[in-house]
Amino acid sequence: MADQMKLGVLTGGGDCPGLNAVIRAVVKTAINDYDMEVVGFQDGYEGLIENRYRTLKASDVSGILTLGGTILGTSNRADPFHYPVLQGDEYIYLDRSSQALQNFERLGLDALIAIGGDGTMAASNGMTEKGLNIIGVPKTIDNDLWGTDQTFGFDSAVTSATEAIDKIHTTAQSHHRVMIVEVMGRYAGWLALASGVAGGGDIILIPEIPYQLDVVVDKIRSRNRRGRNFSIVVIGEGAKSEGGDMVVKKIIENSPDQIRLGGISNQLAAQIEGVANIETRVTILGHLLRGGTPTAFDRLLATQFGCEAVHLAYNKKFGQMVALKGGNIESVPITEVAGKIRKVCHDTPLLKAALSLDTSLGVDNTDILKAEKALA
């Protein structure tokens, strides 16, 4: 058919449960509703830059709804505007955005559906400005993407973290220990807050609220005095003490986001043992939170996102990112999303719930309540 549309799809950034559900929804909606042709680029924008792709039929996405990861592969280093190329023993960085656009045009694509987090949306915004027709789909276990109430992958990560915290409880009770569980989340505390509340954490420490060691120790001692001779601390990898810095695990030079956080839990454990002489153990969940089968919620959200992305492409509403808004699937301009991080605010309902449960956030809770009233 001369007027048949042709879509491209890619998955960028870190993997998470639900990616395959989006790919499946994109392919099936494109074929069933609009008789479109779909090609999938391998390893995110890297595939578009290096012209690595494959045609996706309905049979290619059959049975992948429940699979974690992505059948297309992904990369968190493939920024078209800052693309790493190895020369000798060192990487140099080149602008390969024009090459990506040329490959898009040579394939006769009408639109590209880019599934990813803030890095992918920033790259997509830049490619949109160069004239590439893009629809974004928000993905991240961190739930820190601006413009949507929730990203797919977050619910699955919260579920995995909560299950781990549940298991930590029994050994904490048996040995009368402080158990610190560190979760991902980068610079936002959504994952720590949600899993901490769901898992019954006694202390939840998030990047948005620098903690005070004396307040943390006082909470542990208070529980001990009341016969609760164990405590569960849930901490986001981007958390830091008041006046301190985030703990950087390593620097990845050939990555758009070079900083890799991790290890704040070990620092806190040493502080607690040094000050209070209370036996403290650490569990860092790390990439465990990215894997596994997506929850039913994430399957549903990912499916709706994928379907809506195709509808937007068909109606030529390019430069948009699909989003969850008040329970509805809508869209927002990618320009409003790029370069922003959605963080936990003092008036976040889940934060209020944590305070009502007498969960410590590492500071005097009355200070948070004052901040909340000031924001009202």
Q: Could you give the residue ranges of the DSSP H alpha helices within 176-295?
A: 190-198, 213-225, 264-276
The C-alpha atoms of residue 179 and residue 169 are separated, in whole angstroms, by 8
Asked, for residue 325, whether it belongs to a domain, the answer is: yes
Helix (H) or strand (E) holding 165: helix 154-175
SS3 assignment, position 290: helix
Higher per-residue confidence, 351 vs 91: 351
> Within this chain, do residues 36 and 71 fall inside the same structural domain, yes or no?
yes
> Within this chain, do residues 99 and 21 fall inside the same structural domain, yes or no?
yes
- The amino acid occupying position 211 is Y
183-192: average pLDDT: 96
Band (308; pLDDT cuts 50, 70, 90): very high
Asked, for residue 132, whether it belongs to a domain, the answer is: yes
Asked, for residue 92, whether it belongs to a domain, the answer is: yes
pLDDT at 374 exceeding the cut of 50: no
Asked, for residue 58, whether it belongs to a domain, the answer is: yes
Helix (H) or strand (E) holding 162: helix 154-175
Distance, C-alpha 215 to centroid of its chain: 29
> Within this chain, do residues 42 and 73 fall inside the same structural domain, yes or no?
yes
> Within this chain, do residues 284 and 298 fall inside the same structural domain, yes or no?
no
Band (373; pLDDT cuts 50, 70, 90): low
Asked, for residue 185, whether it belongs to a domain, the answer is: yes
> Within this chain, do residues 277 and 175 fall inside the same structural domain, yes or no?
yes
The C-alpha atoms of residue 189 and residue 342 are separated, in whole angstroms, by 10
Cβ atoms of 152 and 302 closer than 8 Å:
yes
The C-alpha atoms of residue 70 and residue 199 are separated, in whole angstroms, by 28
Alpha carbon dihedral 313, 318, 320, 322, in 10-degree steps, equals 0
Lowest-confidence pick of 2-6, 100-104, 188-192: 2-6
Asked, for residue 1, whether it belongs to a domain, the answer is: no
Annotation marks residue 149 as catalytic: no
Annotated catalytic residue within 142, 144, 155, 298: 142
211-223: average pLDDT: 95
> Within this chain, do residues 273 and 172 fall inside the same structural domain, yes or no?
yes
Q: What is the pLDDT of residues 148-160, one digit of tens each?
A: 999 999 999 999 9
Q: What is the pLDDT of residues 223-241, one digit of tens each?
A: 999 989 999 999 999 999 9
> Within this chain, do residues 99 and 63 fall inside the same structural domain, yes or no?
yes
> Within this chain, do residues 243 and 310 fall inside the same structural domain, yes or no?
no
Query: Over the chain, what is the mean pLDDT?
Result: 93
Lowest-confidence pick of 126-140, 282-296, 356-370: 356-370
The C-alpha atoms of residue 85 and residue 95 are separated, in whole angstroms, by 10
* Residue 174, domain CATH: 3.40.50.460
The C-alpha atoms of residue 132 and residue 97 are separated, in whole angstroms, by 10
Asked, for residue 283, whether it belongs to a domain, the answer is: yes
Structure tokens at 232: 């569960």
> Within this chain, do residues 137 and 74 fall inside the same structural domain, yes or no?
yes
> Within this chain, do residues 285 and 304 fall inside the same structural domain, yes or no?
no
Asked, for residue 145, whether it belongs to a domain, the answer is: yes
Q: How many domains does the chain have?
A: 2
SS3 assignment, position 209: coil
pLDDT at 306 exceeding the cut of 60: yes
Give the structural domain span for 164: 159-290+345-375
Cβ atoms of 78 and 43 closer than 8 Å:
yes
> Within this chain, do residues 286 and 298 fall inside the same structural domain, yes or no?
no
What pLDDT was estimated at residue 347? 86
> Within this chain, do residues 170 and 147 fall inside the same structural domain, yes or no?
no
* Residue 100, domain CATH: 3.40.50.450
Q: How many CA atoms lie within 13 A of 154 on its CB side?
A: 24
Q: What is the pLDDT of residues 26-77, one digit of tens each?
A: 999 999 999 999 999 999 999 999 999 999 999 999 999 999 999 999 998 8
Please choose, from the candidates 19, 224, 244, the residue with its C-alpha nearest in 3D space to the C-alpha of residue 113.
19
